[in-house]
Amino acid sequence: MATIGAVAKQAGVSIASVSRVINGTAARADTERRVRAAIQDLGYQPNSAARALKVRQSEQICLSFDDLSNPAYVLMTRGVGQALSSSKYRLILSSAFSSVEEIVKHLETMGRGFADGLIISPIYADARITTLISQLKMPVVLVGTMPEGLDVDNVYVNSAAGVDLAIDHLIEIGRKRIALINGPVTTNPGRRRKAAFEKALKKNKLAFSDASIIQADAFSTQAGFEAVTNIKELKKFDAIICANDQLAAGVMKFCVDNEIDIPSDIALIGIDNIELASLLRPTLTSVDLRAEERGQIAANLMLNRLANPDRPSKQIEVQPRLVIRQSTVAS
Amino acid sequence: MATIGAVAKQAGVSIASVSRVINGTAARADTERRVRAAIQDLGYQPNSAARALKVRQSEQICLSFDDLSNPAYVLMTRGVGQALSSSKYRLILSSAFSSVEEIVKHLETMGRGFADGLIISPIYADARITTLISQLKMPVVLVGTMPEGLDVDNVYVNSAAGVDLAIDHLIEIGRKRIALINGPVTTNPGRRRKAAFEKALKKNKLAFSDASIIQADAFSTQAGFEAVTNIKELKKFDAIICANDQLAAGVMKFCVDNEIDIPSDIALIGIDNIELASLLRPTLTSVDLRAEERGQIAANLMLNRLANPDRPSKQIEVQPRLVIRQSTVAS
DNA sequence: TTGTACGCGTTATCAG
DNA sequence: CTGATAACGCGTACAA
């Protein structure tokens, strides 16, 4: 591999001059020409490790979340990747954490300096994670609900407003007996959806009991199917909100199998509005949480922070939007 | 940030000793204890840039493909990520290339040494890409059809066998007038599917004309919908194979809208067997191309190559498998 | 077993 | 505007 020294020799100038040409500092036209020719000649590429060691920047940004099998995170990754692609930064992906310990271990390796910034969307609420993040010596952008006592750049979606949108819509179409099929309450989204759901029902003076919330084991299709299977009296409800679209897909599968008509017997609403929602039959009404957009915003917050390390932290709220389809309003 | 020097001072030993302890070379028990204590004390983490500069390894592997919005690539990414998570290597993601030029540019940056290996799944067949790959000074694993004149580790799926599986199945259920809705023939998968389809029809002495192959603009749901819309005489066919599941989803949407019954009027088969296939109604028969498994294999090939740079290159063929669902056999 | 000293490829400072 | 040279943090001959 050609080094900067080889280029210098070939061009008949000093190493310093080559460096200047590369980094755009002034140089005589003739010098620049010869250096560029030599670079071309040797196919020189600056070594990123040496550069990183010297300037203390890796030009890499790390994106961390728990599970790439969730399409909402894929959307987020796309958003981040897109925003980063027009910058000098590369994207490092850290995914598939199966436990808090793994996240902790990963967070500790951040001290090695292989990334200039961390965009993280932790699904579990754990004090260790919060502490570790706050001790990180690098810029952090948090995607999701900000834990108590943390002050970093943050983009989050007003998910309570999303639940409100869903419930208002259900009320409009005359539904009053509404259930929530929730994901695990050990997760942040699970907890928040539950709280928002309770609050919204009470606000609208709708029937609410413990039976109104069914806990699924995961945010997956399979879990949705199992959760709805376990409901003793499905007839008690005339509408179901699911904590994400995959859960809703599982519910829909169950309904088709058991000849329960959607939406006439039961109206169904999902959350996330992934592509799947428009492909199911009936198509699925869903609350769009704008994951791709949040990813873009997160990446731009990071780029902005990197360019401007001292600005105060920013919190950006993204508004959900309801996409009405056949699962609530027959076409 | 604590450096190795700080640790050495704190432990009262030389930096060489600290380095030895970290890298597992022999040291007196007492020395090791003091070094470890100092490391703990200072929260020392070795600087990865300095390490990379010295040992000429970045401990990073780059995964490149064209579009993260294709769930098949997400599966592949999961496979790679999973195989890498138990290694010391980090995963760098490069996606969303919109043109050959972008890929070329990306390939050129590989010379900077920020990655120890490249796993690449190029969708476009372009001589420049092949040339560039062959000139790369680092291990490369190619996922997909190997272009002429390249000799690198490779994992590919026998997609012709996949098309055969689909056609054999259709023949078994009595279909004879089969169409292919293909993706762009500017892509490798598009070209291969087309060739395999023609060959399989002829082998089975089934009717084939230019009208049997309908070109979609992309591998997307929308493109599938549009492609089927453009077929003049849909009744001519009693079965459709789609180049991927998303195209098939678009076709299914069209059929539902136009009251064409699947499978009685038209049998439908997709390719990839992404989760979507089991969620559509009717559920979609699909040829599983084992993307996640290919990702795992690719990553393992890479790890193995990195550990053993001089072994001859390996080509691994993955066999597709047909997953029969309601779109060909009503339940 | 331990310590000293050098070099990895860059950037940045400072004299010319 | 240019060139020599000192870091950056780490690994490792080589000497002790």
Residues 6+ apart with CB under 8 A from A321: A165, A287, A288, A290
Output the pLDDT for position B98: 83
Asked if the Cβ–Cβ distance from A256 to B281 is below 8 Å, we say yes
Task: Spell out which residues of chain B touch residue A92, defining contact as CB-CB under 8 Å.
Answer: 60, 90-93
Which tokens in the block code for residue B275? 């989760």
Please give the DSSP secondary-structure letter assigned to residue B134: H
Give kind and range of the element (H or E) at residue B79: helix B71-85
Taking 90 as the threshold, does the pLDDT of residue B47 lie above it? yes
**Can you tell me whether residue B285 is helix, strand or coil?**
strand
Between CA B76 and CA A328 the distance in angstroms is 35
Q: Can you read off the two tokens belonging to residue B321?
A: 């498998």
pLDDT in tens, A222-244: 999 999 999 998 999 999 999 99
What is the structure's pLDDT at B238?
96
pLDDT of residue A25: 82
- Which residue matches tokens 């942040």? A188
Confidence category of residue A83, pLDDT binned at 50, 70, 90: very high
Contact at CB, A92 and B91, closer than 8 angstroms: yes
- Percent of the residues in chain B that have a pLDDT greater than 70, as a whole number: 100
HSE, CB side, 13 Å, CA atoms: give it for residue A288: 15
The structure tokens listed for B40 are 């703990």
Q: Is the CB of A47 under 7 A from strand D?
A: no
pLDDT of residue A125: 84
B112 touches strand C (CB under 7 A): no
What does the pLDDT look like over B281-311, one tens digit per residue? Answer: 899 999 999 999 999 999 999 999 999 999 9
Amino acid letter, B307: A
Estimate in Å the CA B13 to C1' D16 gap, whole number: 15
The pLDDT tens digits for B172-194 are 999 999 999 999 999 999 999 99
* Dihedral angle over CA of A241, A263, A223, B269, nearest 10: -140
Rounded to whole angstroms, the Cα distance separating A56 from A50 reads 10
A42 touches strand C (CB under 7 A): no
Q: Residue B15 — very low, low, confident or very high, per pLDDT cuts 50/70/90?
A: very high
pLDDT at A115 over 80: yes
Residues whose CB falls within 8 Å of the CB of residue B163, separated by 6 or more in sequence, listed in order: B193, B196, B197, B200, B241, B287
pLDDT of residue B160: 94
Could A279 and B280 be called an inter-chain contact, meaning their C-beta atoms sit closer than 8 Å? yes
Q: Does B261 touch chain A (CB under 8 A)?
A: no
CA distance B44 to chain A (A): 8
Instruction: Answer for the pair A284, A246: CB distance below 8 angstroms, yes or no.
Output: no
Under an 8 A CB cutoff, do B112 and A60 touch? Answer: no
Predicted pLDDT at B1: 86
Chain D, protein-covered positions (CB within 7 A): 1-5, 7-13
Residue B331 has pLDDT above 80, yes or no: no
Nearest residue to B245 via CA among B272, B264, B210, B227: B272
Question: For A260, phi and psi rounded to 5 degrees?
Answer: -100, 125
How many Å lie between the alpha carbon of A30 and the closest alpha carbon of chain B?
26
pLDDT band at A157 (very low <50, low <70, confident <90, very high): very high
Helix/strand/coil (H/E/C) assignment for every residue in chain A: CCCHHHHHHHHCCCHHHHHHHHCCCCCCHHHHHHHHHHHHHHCCCCCHHHHHHHHCCCCEEEEEECCCCCHHHHHHHHHHHHHHHCCCCEEEEECCCCCHHHHHHHHHHHHHCCCCEEEEECCECCHHHHHHHHHCCCCEEEECCCCCCCCCEEEEECHHHHHHHHHHHHHHCCCCCEEEEECCCCEHHHHHHHHHHHHHHHHCCCCCCHHHEEECCCCCHHHHHHHHHCCCCHHHCCEEEECCHHHHHHHHHHHHHCCCCCCCCCEEEEECCCCHHHHCCCCCEEEECCHHHHHHHHHHHHHHHHHCCCCCCCEEEECCEEECCCCCCCC
Domains defined for chain A, CATH in brackets: 4-46 (1.10.260.40), 60-157+291-315 (3.40.50.2300), 159-290 (3.40.50.2300)
Please state, in angstroms and rounded to a whole number, the distance separating the CA atoms of residues A243 and B91.
Answer: 30
Which member of B53, B278, B281 has the closest CB to residue A281? B281
- pLDDT computed for residue A143 by the predictor: 98
pLDDT attached to residue A250:
96
Phi, then psi, of B287 in degrees rounded to 5 = -90, 115
Above 80 in pLDDT, residue A331?
A: no
In one-letter notation, the amino acid at residue B113 is G
Q: How far apart are CA B72 and CA B91, in angstroms?
A: 18
State how far the Cα of A111 lies from the Cα of B45, in Å rounded to an integer: 6
Residue nearest to nucleotide D1 (CA to C1'): A27
Longest Cα–Cα distance in chain A:
85
The mean pLDDT value for B97-114 works out to 93
Nearest nucleotide to A32 (CA to C1') is: D1
Summarised one tens digit per residue, pLDDT across range B241-283 is: 999 999 999 999 999 999 999 999 999 999 999 999 999 989 9
Strand D contact with B52 (CB < 7 A):
no
What is the least distance, in Å, from the CA of B113 to any CA of chain A?
Answer: 6
Residue B200's CB is within 10 A of a number of other CB atoms, namely 23
pTM greater than 0.85: yes
Euclidean distance between CA atoms A39 and A11, whole angstroms: 9
Return the residue of B nearest to A254 by Cα: B279
Measured CA distances, B131 to A194, B95, B113, B151 (Å): 55, 20, 19, 11
Q: Which residue is nearest to nucleotide C3 (CA to C1')?
A: B14
Please provide the distance, in angstroms rounded to a whole number, between the alpha carbons at the two ends of chain A: 64
A1 confidence band (pLDDT: 50, 70, 90): confident
Cα within 13 Å of Cα(B45), Cβ side: 16
| Residue A173 structure tokens | 């179409």
Average pLDDT over residues B158-162: 95
pLDDT computed for residue B166 by the predictor: 98
